Structure formats: structure tokens, C-alpha cells
């Protein structure tokens, strides 16, 4: 095993962040659809739906309470999932939380890799009903040989 | 939209990825990692130059799924990021229905989806579930 996981990183497992409150706003949806280059009128106007990857905007205020920025040489995204009980739309007020569900490492072709998995939950702030959730797996790469690697 | 198992979904060919798109996506998503807009920062981390946010390619797949099934039809979208999208890349989204399931009186299409770069390499790949009616 590469041995890159420090006690501080190992201690992230099981940690829960939030809930923090997020209001889904029409302007934010429109700018998000614009950035993707998605022309659908469903994401525009006064009462738009949110595109399925919109929850990536559900960030806590301030720095991300997670892996330190200087851990590893580069942070990359391994996988991402969202699922919905119903479509999100402007006006939704959600309580968002996430839990670090796993921390593990692998030795790869391009160096040592540390993976961090998180599970998300989106609850309706008014009723407490579950609206959706997600899974986010990021990785930090360590390359002892120096750059470039590929 | 109605599809049956085995049906291909209508393909989506995106405009070439431009730096201004990555800046807009950074602002709209809140992901300000400089490897997505600053060549120097990207090179210092061993990349040839700026790369697109993985989530942008997932966003393309979200557009592709909702164009095929209708806005708000997505029940689930899960992807693995397998390659990097570079500036100027034209990303093509494609997929097909692998299964149609009945759930709570509604039909749910399970689909394989992927985003492909100009060299034909799959950069982002996964599964989508979308409601049909």
C-alpha cells in the first residue's frame, strides 16, 4: 500500500457536514444552463426546473470542510452521481448534508492515488422529505517522480 | 418520449469547449480550481494546459438525457470520469436504452450514456435513469 493516508485524512471518514440551507434560484439555474450551453427553455423564465447536475452548486459557505488543499499534487474527480425523488426547481429550499463514506488508496500508473467518497442528501427544508441525493468521489494524486506523468 | 430496450438516444454534439465557457462554468458552479482556466496552474500540476471541469462533461450528459426524455425526466445520473476534456474539444454525447422498468405505475428507462472526445476516446461514462411519461 502506498501509505499516503495520514491520520488527519483517515479521520475524515464518517464525518458529516451540514446540514446547510440552500435556496434554488432562477437566476442561478439560468447561468448554470448558459455555462453548459444548454438552450432548453425549461431552465429559463420565472419558475424554471433545475438541470440534473445543478446540485454541484450546493456548496457550503466558506472553504470546503474536507481534504486540505495541499494534500497531494493534483485533485481530480473520479465519479459523481445524483438521483432525484422529483425534479428540483426554482424556489426549492433544501437542507443539504454530506458524509464522508470512505477514504482509500491505490497505486496507479501515474502515481499514488487517495480516493475520498462522500454521500449527499437533499431534504425539503419545509417538510423534511427527501428530495434527492448524490455521491461524489474525488481523488488526490501523488507523483514521487515529478511531472509530467502523461 | 417513449423508447424501448436497445433504442439509441438522439446524439448531442456540443460546441468546441472554449476558455470563456470554463470561466462561466467556474462561476456558475462555484468550482474555481485554477486548472480549469489558468494554463500556468494546470502545467504546474502536470497537465498540458487547462482542462474542462469533469462536471461540465457530466452537464453535457444531463443536457443529452433531458433533451431525449424531456426536462425534469432524469431520475438518476451517475458517471465515472475516465479522461480529460481539453480546450477546443468537440464533445459528443451518445447512449442507448438498456432496460425499461415499471416503477410505481410509471416507466423508467435505464440507459448507458457516454461523452466522447474528438479522438473517439470516452471521457465520461455512466448510467442514466429517466422517466417516460
- Bridge partners for B100 per DSSP: B109
- On the 0-12 / 13-18 / 19+ scale of CB atoms within 10 A, B63 is buried
B126 is a domain residue: yes
Chain B residue numbers with beta carbons less than 8 Å from the beta carbon of A148 are 46, 48
Tens of pLDDT, residue by residue over B11-60, are 999 999 999 999 999 999 999 999 999 999 999 888 899 999 999 999 99
Domain carrying residue A120: 7-23+62-142
CATH code assigned at A13: 3.10.129.10
How many domains is chain B built from? 1
Tell me which chain B residue has its CA closest to the CA of residue A111: B46
Spell out which chain A residues touch chain B, with contact meaning CB-CB distance below 8 angstroms: 28, 31-32, 34-38, 40, 42-43, 49, 51-53, 56-57, 59, 73-84, 87, 89, 135, 143, 147-149
DSSP state of B51: B
Question: What angle do the packed helices A26-36 and B54-69 form, to 10 degrees?
Answer: 100
Give the sign of the dihedral formed by CA A135, CA A48, CA B3, CA B81: negative
Question: Looking at the domain assignment, is residue B40 inside a domain?
Answer: yes
Identify whether B67 is part of a domain.
yes
B111 lies in some domain: yes
Mean pLDDT of all residues in chain A?
Answer: 91
Express each pLDDT in A56-101 by its tens digit: 999 988 777 888 888 887 788 999 999 999 999 999 999 999 999 9
**B7: distance to nearest CA of chain A, Å?**
22
The answer to whether residue B2 sits within a structural domain is no
Assess if residue A69 is contained within a domain. yes
Among chain A residues, CA nearest to B125: A79
Structural domain contains residue B6: no
**Number of domain units in chain A:** 1
Name the residue range of residue B67's domain: 12-132
Task: Give the domain CATH number at B82.
Answer: 3.10.129.10
Amino acid at each position: 500500500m502506498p501509505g499516503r493516508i495520514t491520520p488527519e485524512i483517515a479521520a475524515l471518514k464518517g464525518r458529516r457536514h451540514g446540514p446547510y440551507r440552500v435556496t434554488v434560484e432562477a437566476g442561478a439555474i439560468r447561468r448554470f444552463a448558459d455555462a453548459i450551453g444548454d438552450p432548453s427553455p425549461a431552465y429559463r423564465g420565472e419558475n424554471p426546473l433545475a438541470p440534473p447536475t445543478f446540485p454541484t452548486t450546493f456548496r457550503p459557505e466558506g472553504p470546503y470542510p474536507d481534504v486540505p488543499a495541499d494534500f497531494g499534487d493534483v485533485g481530480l474527480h473520479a465519479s459523481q452521481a445524483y438521483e432525484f425523488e422529483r425534479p428540483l426547481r426554482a424556489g426549492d429550499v433544501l437542507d443539504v448534508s454530506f458524509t464522508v463514506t470512505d477514504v482509500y488508496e491505490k497505486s496507479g500508473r501515474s502515481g499514488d492515488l487517495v480516493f475520498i467518497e462522500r454521500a449527499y442528501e437533499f431534504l425539503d427544508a419545509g417538510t423534511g422529505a427527501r428530495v434527492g441525493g448524490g455521491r461524489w468521489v474525488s481523488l488526490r494524486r501523488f507523483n514521487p517522480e515529478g511531472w509530467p506523468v502523461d | 418520449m417513449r423508447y424501448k430496450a436497445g433504442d439509441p438516444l438522439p446524439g448531442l454534439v456540443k460546441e468546441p469547449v472554449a476558455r470563456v465557457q470554463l470561466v462561466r462554468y467556474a462561476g456558475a458552479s462555484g468550482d474555481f480550481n485554477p486548472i480549469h482556466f489558468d494554463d500556468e496552474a494546470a502545467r504546474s500540476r502536470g497537465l498540458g494546459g487547462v482542462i474542462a471541469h469533469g462536471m461540465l462533461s457530466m452537464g453535457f450528459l444531463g443536457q443529452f438525457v433531458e433533451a431525449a426524455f424531456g426536462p425534469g425526466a432524469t431520475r438518476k445520473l451517475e458517471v465515472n470520469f475516465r479522461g480529460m476534456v481539453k480546450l477546443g474539444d468537440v464533445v459528443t454525447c451518445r447512449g442507448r436504452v438498456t432496460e425499461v422498468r415499471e416503477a410505481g405505475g410509471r416507466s423508467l428507462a435505464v440507459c448507458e450514456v457516454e461523452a466522447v472526445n474528438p479522438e473517439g476516446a470516452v471521457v465520461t461514462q455512466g448510467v442514466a435513469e429517466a422517466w417516460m411519461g
